[in-house]
A and B are shown apart, each in its own frame.
Chain A
């Protein structure tokens, strides 16, 4: 009888001790996480293009946090979808074609001699990347342009083009080597020529 009581007491003491330890640990090593909306917003490309159907990236981040699909962001493309899937512990899915297709990075370009200075594009730009005033020619601050397309539609004289960003020696980057041995029937003499 005594043994049983001792055993119970010992178990109780152990339970208390470990409980206290766990409680202490959970307080001491608490993970300070961003609210999920911020984390999602950080993964979105911040083009503010509205192709997802929301007025900007943050609203979409909020919508995702409330359970919306993660595949509505064409500028972010598959990379963003994968990152979101990873964050939210979902299966990565294909980009939803309804919202657009993945394009190379673009920048808006105003054909300046055709611009009439109506300021419509300035009002449309979500990141204030167009400079100009009424009746003055407008121009795009290329470094700040997110390539969102939103200025193209409002232009009454259709003088805004979206042009792909050209690679220069400053923006060029190395690619990973091609996977040579993954290709079938490779023999040593098959790899002459370009590697990069």
Chain B
């Protein structure tokens, strides 16, 4: 209509999302003062995993002196992000330290002792980003360690580097900040609107979107005003106030509010041509490109009834929370719970020793009246208020029943994994059921079971492959044996054809021979065994007792092995003895005797070991080592011949057992092999 007197900006239709809640905002406490800079703490704690994805990989070691802005750990894999030094100082340790995590468990952190100089390393800003290729800028953003500062901590560069990012038509700037208490984005927009605009323009250059929509909840009129002011005259950028309703700050909720488009549950927003960045992330991108500064600080809200001076601070990453709380005037007698993030989705922390990480948008030091312990859970009366509050139109109350009974198929069926854990359902539940915890437990259990069954499947495959391999080896052996037998049979037939006269009484004699041979072989084997056993206790014979070994291992090593064997035996005996002792069995004494014997052996071995380690044993070695090439060859031949005899003997035995008609051939072979063995022995 031509009569429209306004500035000509068409009013954007706001697409209300279903559900949502209006918890008490509590934002005014922390917006009274501008963003402050707390004093430099002495110690910084830098977790290697401050983002979603793989933990960063350490680049420095304990004792290293680092400068402010220096990269301390690099991205490890595609979805990962580096960590930089927030100030200059010395790396004093790397180890486990409490981090902001639901579990209260510890993670690997790097501890940096500040030297107070706060000296920057050399920065490498991009002079004019408009002349630089997109890929290079993406790399800059990646190397600056920038992750989504809204809460999820997804690496910012990964989002924009996907192939689909070339088809982005809408850039959504998320300044909704729907969580109660948090005002970090609000203050950032009020005070740093120009830098935020700079970040938007960098992304406009990189992604070339048709329009940029800045969504801000209408409870932040100052921020809306500030953004409107800097964006005046920019055609493609529009500041859109959205109605105040939790959780409008969720990226997909905001996309829905601003455009009415829905991100399919199996896709990401980039798949429908949209990218959403938090305002803080964009300011960080601006700083990284134009000043070369990596992400080493962020705006964090410090609030809660236990703080004397709530407000926002520019906190260096790694600053212990207690340092900031001290700065904001913590009142210990009021202090009951520490929450990182907002009251709807933030998590309680066990200790104030946790550091500020890249995703710490808020610390709430709450009094007991503020966040009272949850009232006892009552029975679900199926009132359906949770379903009305759910921004995704899930059925929380159905999910609750199925989560409670661990019915995983039903949970999948009711789209549990679409749940964003915003807490709106728990908030409205008249029976005070901690629904979100049920859903988290359900999700974790499903993930755990999946991992478990995947591992079981892998184990099964490995087991089956191993089984197959063993079978294949056995089959190969069998095939070789058969082939040999076949060959021998043919040879024998040829022989038989050549001289029939010799075959009259061979059957009798050969059987007798074979028996005698076997006895002999067994005796030999026993001898060898005795020798090795002697080697076990007596080092002098040990070296000579194993002449067949082509390469003599150093004496010390052998002794060491024996020593460990004896040690292990002692341990086992002792264990047995203690058990026997408990049951007061008669065996205990015998075991004790064994132990004593073994201990004697042990001391003996130790002494010998030490003697062997001494340089005096040197002359003994060369004698062994100086085997001529010829001798060596013979020895190898001998060993092979022995093995062949053994094999043949075994074949004969099996043949006898099965009454095989190949007996004669085999015995013939055995005879041949023996002759060969004798020859070898002579040679040696």
**A joins B in a complex:** yes
A44: chain B residues within 8 A (beta carbon)? 456
CA–CA, A144 and B462, complex, Å: 9
Task: Classify chain B's interface size.
Answer: 35 or more
A57: chain B residues within 8 A (beta carbon)? 460, 463
CB < 8 Å: which of A146, A167, A174 contacts B437?
A174
B264: chain A residues within 8 A (beta carbon)? none
Tell whether, in the assembled complex, residue A46 and residue B444 are in contact, meaning their CB atoms are under 8 Å apart.
no
Tell whether, in the assembled complex, residue B376 and residue A186 are in contact, meaning their CB atoms are under 8 Å apart.
yes
B379: chain A residues within 8 A (beta carbon)? 181
B561: chain A residues within 8 A (beta carbon)? 116
B534: chain A residues within 8 A (beta carbon)? none
- In this assembly, does B401 line the interface, its C-beta being within 8 Å of a C-beta of chain A? no
Tell whether, in the assembled complex, residue B564 and residue A172 are in contact, meaning their CB atoms are under 8 Å apart.
no
Tell whether, in the assembled complex, residue B376 and residue A191 are in contact, meaning their CB atoms are under 8 Å apart.
yes
Contact with B along A178-196 (1 / 0, CB 8 A): 0011000010101111011
Tell whether, in the assembled complex, residue A168 and residue B105 are in contact, meaning their CB atoms are under 8 Å apart.
yes
CA–CA, A158 and B574, complex, Å: 13
A174 → B minimal CB distance (Å): 4
Q: Which of B390-429 contact A (CB under 8 A)?
A: 403-404
B105: chain A residues within 8 A (beta carbon)? 167-169, 172
CB < 8 Å: which of A143, A174, A186, A195 contacts B440?
A174
Tell whether, in the assembled complex, residue A193 and residue B373 are in contact, meaning their CB atoms are under 8 Å apart.
yes
- In this assembly, does B102 line the interface, its C-beta being within 8 Å of a C-beta of chain A? yes
Known contacts A128-B462, A169-B101, A169-B103; is-contact A176 B376 (Cβ 8 Å)? no
Tell whether, in the assembled complex, residue B376 and residue A146 are in contact, meaning their CB atoms are under 8 Å apart.
no
- In this assembly, does B99 line the interface, its C-beta being within 8 Å of a C-beta of chain A? yes
- In this assembly, does B467 line the interface, its C-beta being within 8 Å of a C-beta of chain A? yes
Contact with A along B424-463 (1 / 0, CB 8 A): 0000000000100110110111011000100111111011
Task: Classify chain A's interface size.
Answer: 35 or more
CA–CA, A144 and B458, complex, Å: 8
A interface majority secondary structure: loop
B103: chain A residues within 8 A (beta carbon)? 167, 169, 172
Interface residue stretch chosen among B155-163, B275-283, B565-573: B565-573
A98 → B minimal CB distance (Å): 19
Q: Which among B444, B456, B561 has the greatest number of chain A C-beta atoms within 10 A? A: B456
Tell whether, in the assembled complex, residue A127 and residue B466 are in contact, meaning their CB atoms are under 8 Å apart.
yes
CA–CA, A181 and B380, complex, Å: 12
B445: chain A residues within 8 A (beta carbon)? 173
CB < 8 Å: which of B373, B448, B455 contacts A173?
B448
CB < 8 Å: which of A176, A177, A191 contacts B375?
A191
- In this assembly, does A19 line the interface, its C-beta being within 8 Å of a C-beta of chain B? no
Tell whether, in the assembled complex, residue A126 and residue B404 are in contact, meaning their CB atoms are under 8 Å apart.
no
Tell whether, in the assembled complex, residue B463 and residue A157 are in contact, meaning their CB atoms are under 8 Å apart.
no
A138 → B minimal CB distance (Å): 14
A-B residue pairs, 9 tightest by C-beta: A173-B444, A46-B456, A172-B103, A46-B459, A157-B564, A127-B462, A174-B440, A174-B441, A158-B568
**B interface with A by C-beta (< 8 Å):** 49, 99, 101-103, 105, 107, 373-379, 403-404, 434, 437-438, 440-441, 443-445, 447-448, 452, 455-460, 462-467, 553, 560-561, 564-565, 567-568, 571-572
A-B contact pairs, 13 of them (CB 8 A): A46-B460, A48-B459, A58-B463, A127-B463, A128-B465, A135-B553, A144-B459, A146-B459, A168-B105, A172-B105, A174-B444, A181-B378, A195-B374
